[in-house]
Amino acid sequence: MRRLPTRLALVLVVLLAGCIPALGEGAKDTFESRAREVAARWAGSADDHAWRDGFVVLGALNPYGWAHVRSVPAWANLSAHHGVWRLATALPSTAPPDAEVRWPDGRVSRLPLISAARAYREFHEPADPIEEECPAGGCRPLRVTGARLGRVPVPTSRGTVQVPAWMFTVAGVEQKKVHVAVDPSAVSPLPERIAEGQEEVMAFDLVAGRPRELRLRYGYGACDTVHGARAYETDQVVVVDVDVRTIHPGGPCPAILKSATTTVALARPLGGRVLLDSGTGVPVLRRSGIE
């Protein structure tokens, strides 16, 4: 094979380099364009107002079941799963007055509540679906003998808050059956993802001692390479993603999703700004201690 003279080869390298953009330059432009759209979509929207000032529950409103699940007899859990509830008393059908709820930032809201009778109606049905019938002798009637108002912690977009909950006394069970008493009408829905948007960042955490850095957890495929995290900042939001690219697009690749963490530097601390995922357009939730 003929070799080009060294001097000519160097000239060709320089010419080609001048015609090819720096690695990641196009990807950066694409990210910033997407991030601007995401930030504009969020700012001032109904989701934005609800996230900052409403009652947006991060998860199920009623994940509790019992006050302390580990100490509940196995038969009680089995019976509850199959809806073997019985009323042994009359429950109040009138809703209590609106309850005061204090948020972590010191602000106070008043939330409407449901009656104990309505709460019972909401939880006494069998679970759906039930894969098999209750085994003979395995279920016993769960007899509700009373109810009182207590408080339970609920994680929300504004931090974890203590909210009223009905504590039902069940004959033969030491622990209380718990059902949040907040009227579902007061709960704002979780923000909707951008149609067909793929999640870029799964969760984040602050980095101790480095107030302008965030640790991000992200997912990637077995045939992907990672080129680092990026952030787009405004006064209200920070939009983030992780630049993940497929090594051989269209080629065979095992369907394996991996996860890892990386850090991204901001121009200033996150503060009260909302962190948004560039792929889905919705807030990224903080998970303490991610590594």
90 and 34 in a common domain: no
3-state secondary structure of 217: strand
Q: Is the confidence at residue 151, as pLDDT, over 80?
A: yes
Mean pLDDT, rounded, for 20-31: 57
Highest mean pLDDT among 122-126, 186-190, 221-225: 186-190
124 and 224 in a common domain: no
269 and 232 in a common domain: yes
Which two three-digit tokens encode residue 223? 């045939």
Helices (H), 61-105: 74-81
**Cα torsion through 64, 66, 67, 73, rounded to 10:** -140
**CATH code for the domain of 142:** 2.40.128
Q: Is the confidence at residue 22, as pLDDT, over 80?
A: no
Mean pLDDT, rounded, for 222-246: 93
Mean pLDDT, rounded, for 148-174: 96
Question: Which region among 1-5, 28-32, 132-136, 143-147 has the lowest average model confidence (pLDDT)?
Answer: 1-5
Q: Looking at residue 23, what is its pLDDT?
A: 35
Contact by Cβ (8 Å): 284, 275: yes
Domain span holding position 221: 24-52+191-277
C-alpha separations of 181 from 56, 57, 216 in Å: 15, 14, 35
Which two three-digit tokens encode residue 208? 């101790």
Residue 12 lies inside a defined structural domain of this protein: no
249 and 204 in a common domain: yes
Residue 74 lies inside a defined structural domain of this protein: yes
Which two three-digit tokens encode residue 275? 């962190």
What is this structure's pTM?
A: 0.82
Higher pLDDT, 118 or 248: 118
Count, residues in the chain: 291
In the structure, what pLDDT confidence band is assigned to residue 14 with cuts at 50, 70 and 90?
A: very low
What are the two backbone dihedrals, phi and then psi, of residue 214, each rounded to the nearest 5 degrees? -125, 145
Contact by Cβ (8 Å): 62, 184: no
Residue 287 lies inside a defined structural domain of this protein: no
Higher pLDDT, 240 or 136: 240
Residue 109 lies inside a defined structural domain of this protein: yes
